[in-house]
Homo-oligomer: A and B are copies of this chain.
Amino acid sequence: MKPVVTPDSESCAASLIQCSTDAMAAVLSPEEMQDLAASADIVTLDRGARLIEEGAPGKALYHVLKGSVQLTHINADGQRLITGFLFQGDFAGVCVSDRYPFSAETIEPTIACRFEREALLELGSRHLEFERRMLSIASNEFLQCLQHLEIVMGGSVETKLARFLLSMAERVGVSDRAGRVIELPMRREAVADYLGHSPEATSRAFTRLREAGVISIPHRSCVAIENERELEATALRAAA
């Protein structure tokens, strides 16, 4: 089990640096931790709430403490893309030009920590390690984007779905007696928009994987991997 989150500003501040190296954990003095905590807000959000509005000035960075978020982008022609999902421990908004390149909306009740960008930069200017941490988070944001590209470039819908499920298993999968189980809090349409296909094609891909015995779908928002070997084989491009 993941550690239980106690949503107060102090622990929230700690969470921003907790993933860093051990050496860095001792970087901030207690009063500096308070500085950071002062610029951190806990936000508790219902499903469908918006943390980030595309095009708005990028003034804050978010850290998901609990729940899930989808990053959406409206194309020039009005089509919606989903550029990523965030789960416990993920960040959004580090990489930013002057305006957010996507919106962020919760797909289930979510608790997040909001850091003012200006405050973080100020703190970064006083602590190199902290500044480096932001660079590291930014790099991760990029790597996530690259992985998304890898998932959606080439292959059939089934292939892409298999790759998506494997990446989800790695991020949020929990082990079961018989294999991994994945919670998929987002709607099918969101998966479709993430894969770059119609909802129908996505649904059919789910069905085919299920009928092939590769996965089972005990619940609309829950997928169990029944045959990981075969799922990995499907993730290797077969055609299209």
Residue A222 CB within 8 A of the other chain: no
A79 to B77, CA, bound (A): 30
Contact of B196 with A139 in the complex, beta carbons under 8 Å: no
A143 to B14, CA, bound (A): 28
Which listed residue, B101, B102, B196, B237, touches A79 by the CB 8 Å rule? B237
Q: Which of the four size classes fits the interface of chain A?
A: 35 or more
Number of copies: 2
How close is A130's CB to chain B, nearest CB, in angstroms?
A: 11
Instruction: Point out which of A95, A131, A134 has the most chain B C-beta atoms below 10 A from its C-beta.
Output: A95
Which listed residue, B83, B135, B236, touches A134 by the CB 8 Å rule? B135
Contact of B149 with A149 in the complex, beta carbons under 8 Å: yes
Residue-wise, chain A 75-115 has the 8 Å CB interface mask toward B (1 for contact) of 11101010100000000001111000110000000000000
Enumerate chain A interface residues (CB-CB to B < 8 A).
73, 75-77, 79, 81, 83, 94-97, 101-102, 121, 124-125, 128, 131-132, 134-135, 138-143, 145-146, 148-150, 152-154, 196, 235-237
